[in-house]
Amino acid sequence: MKNNGRATFNVMLISPPLSVEKQAGSLKGIANVLPTMGIGYIAALLEKHGIGVRVFDYIGEPKTFDGMLQDISDESPDIIGITSTILTISTAHELSKEIKKRFPRIPLVIGGPQLCSAPEATMKDGSYDIGVIGEGETTMLELVKALIDGRDDLTGIKGLVLKKGAELVFNASRSYIEDLDTLPFPARHLYPSLDKYRPVPASYIKKPVGLMISSRGCPYQCIFCDRKVFGNRFRAHSPKYVVNEMENVIKIHGAREIRFMDDTFTLDIKRVDAICDEIFKRGIKVPWTCLTRVNTVNLDILKKMKRAGCWQVIYGIESGDQKMLDIIKKGVTVEENERGIVLAKKAGLNVRATFVFGLPGETLGTIKNTVEFAMRTRLDVVNFFTVILFPGNELYTIARKEGKILHENYDEYTSLIDAEETKLHYVPDGMTELELKNAIVDAYRRYYFRPAYIARQVLSIKSAEDISRYWTAFKSLIGMRKAS
């Protein structure tokens, strides 16, 4: 491949924009606007090998198609990589077609969760030359090196799907990265500044917030989850690596808080214990939060996490009804969920929980049980989501087999709720779409508009920043609309 006379090869990595309206509908005021971390790891590894790379995370700094195409013209890249989730794939497809019209000779690569979940459809619906399936760091490095060397035959690079005319060629799959410490920290210096992003108001106490992923892979089998990128086998960074990165995010990039995005941060309690010890040793005083499961914690580790700066744990509770937990293969009981919440509160932690409505077997009765569970356990924050079908996972397979997929246009779907405009793509037997959507609106109102809850939140206010984020969330909840 010709290099346009430049001394270095130029890689451009893009994360398409995602509007808060598309992500959260009428709850756009409490939508997550977070950096796309995957391309940051790829960029860092390319830089480590002396390859020129730029990151354009349009999640943080949205642009129109004309603006994105102008960036490409200005950069004149030798290769373009686009990452996409299920909510950004239609934008990625449209952008890929515009890129091919304007810059037909630039190789165009697609990666990310949506490509991994549905490679054939993704490659067919967009104008991509190459797809990267699975963890992308090593695969992209080998691909770029091959292009630099002028190689035309890419079939020996594991983890690629290649478009050959109307046909797709799937190379051998690539094994997961065993030693995550071999990866450099994500290239955060190539992203917009942290203050360009906006986390959910109830998920932070200080901005800006820096994201970290300290482990990969989840061994649990929840039928609604998408595990196509990182797989089922748990792999983790060492405690020293994790705390080194924390210091980097704080001192170099200005984070005043850390959010760990691991699927199950406390899966290896001994590792978390060692991370806390390393935080104590270095005197780090920055607050942090994490996502985890109720059956991977105990009181001792929760107390130690609290002393090390953790102020909130986020549990994926999913349902307050045992029948529903069994159907979705959550692997816990209602009692275990309640115990995990009690332990976290006993340790002095704020507890946020996520629930998913509309899974197979859901009824108005099971939703009532879930809302009552949330109120009974005095959770600090709850999020009620509608179910999203990820192509390739067990729930998607079940829904397709039953002929229950209503549509697959994710432009008409939000994972929170806009009862007037959102078009759900799965509704369980025994419920109507109208009933399900309005049940979620009712759940939010019933939980958050209780005088006792409001009083508890008012009494917890400690700063002007608290007032600002609570008011933002409250305004969004007031604006929720029921369908008719």
Domain-terminating residue out of 151, 170, 189: 170
The answer as to whether 296 is a domain residue is yes
Q: Count CB atoms within 10 A of the CB of residue 21.
A: 14
Distances (CA, A) of 374 to 8, 384, 404, 435: 56, 10, 29, 20
The answer as to whether 66 is a domain residue is yes
Q: How many domains does the chain have?
A: 2
Q: What is the pLDDT of residues 173-195, one digit of tens each?
A: 999 999 999 999 999 999 999 99
The answer as to whether 194 is a domain residue is no
232 and 120 both lie in a single domain: no
217 and 132 both lie in a single domain: no
Q: What is the pLDDT of residues 72-103, one digit of tens each?
A: 999 999 999 999 998 899 999 999 999 999 99
Query: The CATH number of the domain where 451 resides is what?
Result: 3.80.30.20
The answer as to whether 182 is a domain residue is no
Query: The CATH number of the domain where 45 resides is what?
Result: 3.40.50.2300
Domain that holds residue 51: 10-170
Rounded (10°) CA dihedral 418, 420, 423, 426: 80
275 and 318 both lie in a single domain: yes
The answer as to whether 25 is a domain residue is yes
355 and 421 both lie in a single domain: yes
283 and 332 both lie in a single domain: yes
The three-class DSSP label of residue 298 is: coil
The answer as to whether 140 is a domain residue is yes
**Cβ distance 446 to 371 under 8 Å?**
yes
The answer as to whether 123 is a domain residue is yes
Answer whether residue 53 shows pLDDT above 60. Answer: yes
The answer as to whether 186 is a domain residue is no
Domain-terminating residue out of 149, 170, 191: 170
CA–CA distance, 343 with 349 (Å, rounded to integer): 9
* pLDDT attached to residue 392: 77
116 and 256 both lie in a single domain: no
Q: What is the pLDDT of residues 201-239, one digit of tens each?
A: 888 999 999 999 999 999 998 998 887 788 889 999 999
297 and 347 both lie in a single domain: yes
451 and 350 both lie in a single domain: yes
Distances (CA, A) of 214 to 211, 236, 283: 10, 6, 20
Q: What is the pLDDT of residues 111-146, one digit of tens each?
A: 999 999 899 999 999 999 999 999 999 999 999 999
Q: What is the pLDDT of residues 362-414, one digit of tens each?
A: 999 999 999 999 999 999 999 998 888 888 788 989 898 888 888 887 776 65
385 and 348 both lie in a single domain: yes
